[in-house]
Amino acid sequence: MPLCLSVEGLAARRGDTLIFRDVSFSAGEGAVVIVTGANGSGKSTLLRIVAGLLRAEAGSIRVAGGDPQRPDAVDTRTETRRDLCHYLGHRNGLKTELTVFDNLAFWRSFATAPSRRHGLEIEAALEEVGLLALADLPVGVLSAGQQRRAALARLLVAWRPIWLLDEPTAALDAASDAMVSRMIARHAASAGIVLAATHLPLDLPQARALAMPGPPRREDVGGDDVVWLDAGQVDGPGAAP
């Protein structure tokens, strides 16, 4: 059965504020979903919840399907949602004092499931993002755009089926935007799933938009009487349907 990420009736609270509710979508292999919405509408929050970094207020997230016999060896019966996702947040997730190569060597060993096919070799990933010549420099001396490109190379050195990308083109020049579009298209074409929040239009004809609904009005959610599901009812990682 093909891999599928399904989000149903998701709601999120930050502090005392209900940021959004009733967010539902599903994304199968090859899907690219672009999350759109105003500043503060909850795009980052949504990605962090799907990544398993924040609890939802209500709703369910399921990753089901996958075929352990295929070369990508995705097994949603044994792997957690966290294992299946690559999350690229606003921060790059790189140690500034380590070289670009050593950062990627860490991510390659950390993010690769033992049974899973490997991603690209580090040199190939660096070539892909145009950083091969800078492999031996500490990340801290790179420009902001170069650091973002090194972070994008993280996605390539360990293959994980679901990419969760928060403003992946932040700090990148126009030519690099096209590189990100290419990376996303290639990942989708190799049975991956991409959920990306971005303010920039990416050149991805197959992408679908998921517009964040904006904060619910108090009268729409029943004022103080509203009862939200316990966050524990959100399905755990890798739950079967």
Ligand X SMILES: Nc1ncnc2c1ncn2[C@@H]1O[C@H](COP(=O)(O)OP(=O)(O)OP(=O)(O)O)[C@@H](O)[C@H]1O
**CA of residue 131 relative to chain centroid, distance:** 22
Is there binding between residue 55 and ligand X (CB under 6 A)? no
Nearer to ligand X, 68 or 89 (CB): 89
Rounded-to-integer distance, Cα 30 and Cα 163, Å: 11
- Residue choice 18, 45, 135, 147 for contact with ligand X (CB under 6 A): 45
User: Least CB distance from residue 45 to ligand X, whole Å?
Assistant: 3
Task: Report in angstroms the alpha-carbon separations of 188 from 138, 165, 185, 211.
Answer: 31, 13, 5, 20
- Residue choice 44, 92, 99, 146 for contact with ligand X (CB under 6 A): 44
Closest C-alpha to 236, from 4, 30, 46, 64? 64
Rounded (10°) CA dihedral 115, 116, 119, 123 = 10
Is there binding between residue 168 and ligand X (CB under 6 A)? no
Nearer to ligand X, 118 or 218 (CB): 218
Residues 6 or more apart whose CB falls under 8 angstroms from that of 137 comprise 99, 100
- Residue choice 2, 14, 186, 208 for contact with ligand X (CB under 6 A): 14
| Contact string 173-212 vs ligand X (x = CB under 6 A) | ----------------------------------------
- Residue choice 5, 10, 18, 19 for contact with ligand X (CB under 6 A): 19
Binding footprint of ligand X on the chain (CB under 6 A): 14-15, 19, 37, 39-45
